[in-house]
Amino acid sequence: MVRTRRVVLAIASIAALTFAMAGCSASAASPTAKPCKVGVSWNNYAEERWAKWDEPAIKAALTTAGCTYISNDAKSSSDNQLANVDALLNQNVTALIILAQDGTAIKPAVTKALNAGVPVIAYDRLIEDPGAFYITFDNVLVGKMQAAALLAVKKTGNFVVIKGNKADANADFLRAGMVQAGLPDVGVQSKDGLVNVGETYTDNWDPANAQNEMAQFLTANNNKIDIAFVENDGMAGGVIAALKSQGLTGVPVSGQDGDAAALNRIALGTQTVDVWKDARMLGDAAGQVAAQLSKGTKLADITTTKYGNAIVFDSPGKNKLNSILLKPDAITKANLKDVLDAGWIDKATLCKDVAAGTVDVCG
């Protein structure tokens, strides 16, 4: 009986120890046992680049990291985006990538996510919250490249500035970069033969709004506008349409994003510069960072395979944001080969309606 009792006690002790160890293991594993699921809140998925470039790159990076992807579309509504972030949180995401419609309006949703332990990436557009990781291109440099390219073509004359959405900090980053290139600052009427005859923000970066704005500036100035500093490609298309309607050609116009139509306009000579932000890089970086954050990596410890380590970005709101800032490329008629070689655009699209012998890359 004594021997039997000892065996029973030994078995019980082993069982208890095994159960305790299992409990400890489950407890220790619980923070990382949750499957990696990254939610993306798009501000307006109808814009060309998101579906064509950014999203596939994000998905590919997440797949490589063993994560799944879900998303929704705010359709240019701040209210929709707040609800959309809630919906993603309710699906138990382990990280959020937010392309903010309005960097201020989205802040309560970011706070809610962070309080729930869900890390947030501010994607391409600033969100003034030091708890969010900020991934974008160097937008001040984008603006500087835009202005430098136009001023290399036309150094003096009447100019207009067609800025992006006022609620998007990028609009002001770009404008600050233009000042670095020599454009008069906001509120400065003239400098070095450059005269500011019109400047405005453009709701939702909308090309139709930009076209109307340019038409109004042309009317107010008897069509005497010599340079158009335009902050993105969609709006550049609207501005060029307004110029064309008045029979105006040869006005230097800037843009950014590397839209196919804009690159074709570079080849045609109706747009002067397109600052190319290879969105495949941005999406790849965001996917890598989201996977790391999902698995518990601290903001300051983020590293990426091609884009380096996290840096500290001092924001306009006096926040210090852990960030990755990617470098853009200014594309003009002289280096259109770069986007072709990179597989960003095919030759038929780039060279559509381009007269033979006018652009080297088109033949």
Q: What does the block give as tokens for 337?
A: 């080969």
Sheet strands (E) in 131-256:
133-137, 157-162, 190-191, 194-200, 227-230, 254-256
Q: Exposure pattern of 69-82 as b/e (b: 16+ CB <10 Å)? A: bebbbbebbbebbb
Q: What is the mean pLDDT of the chain?
A: 92
Q: What is the structure's pLDDT at 351?
A: 98
Q: What is the structure's pLDDT at 33?
A: 57
What is the share, in percent, of the chain residues with pLDDT greater than 70?
A: 91
Average pLDDT, integer, range 132-156: 97
**Residue 348 Cα to chain centre, angstroms:** 27
Taking 50 as the threshold, does the pLDDT of residue 130 lie above it? yes
Q: What is the dihedral of CA 234, 239, 244, 246, to 10 degrees?
A: 160
Q: What is the structure's pLDDT at 48?
A: 80
What residues are paired with 73 via a beta bridge?
42
Average pLDDT, integer, range 173-178: 98
What digits encode the pLDDT tens for the residues 28-63? Answer: 334 445 899 999 999 999 988 899 999 999 999 999
Q: What is the structure's pLDDT at 286?
A: 98
pLDDT band for 267, please (50, 70, 90 cuts): very high
Taking 50 as the threshold, does the pLDDT of residue 76 lie above it? yes
CB atoms within 10 A of CB 10: 10
Taking 80 as the threshold, does the pLDDT of residue 266 lie above it? yes
Taking 50 as the threshold, does the pLDDT of residue 7 lie above it? no
Q: What angle do CA 236, 237, 242 make, to 5 degrees?
A: 95
Q: What is the structure's pLDDT at 283?
A: 98
What digits encode the pLDDT tens for the residues 273-327? Answer: 999 999 999 999 999 999 999 999 999 999 999 999 999 999 999 999 999 999 9
pLDDT band for 334, please (50, 70, 90 cuts): very high
Taking 90 as the threshold, does the pLDDT of residue 1 lie above it? no
What is the share, in percent, of the chain residues with pLDDT greater than 90?
A: 89
Q: What is the pTM of this model?
A: 0.83
- Report the candidate in 98, 49, 101 with the shortest Cα–Cα distance to residue 274: 49
Length of the chain: 363
Set out the domains of the chain in order of their start, with CATH numbers: 34-138+279-328 (3.40.50.2300), 139-276+330-354 (3.40.50.2300)
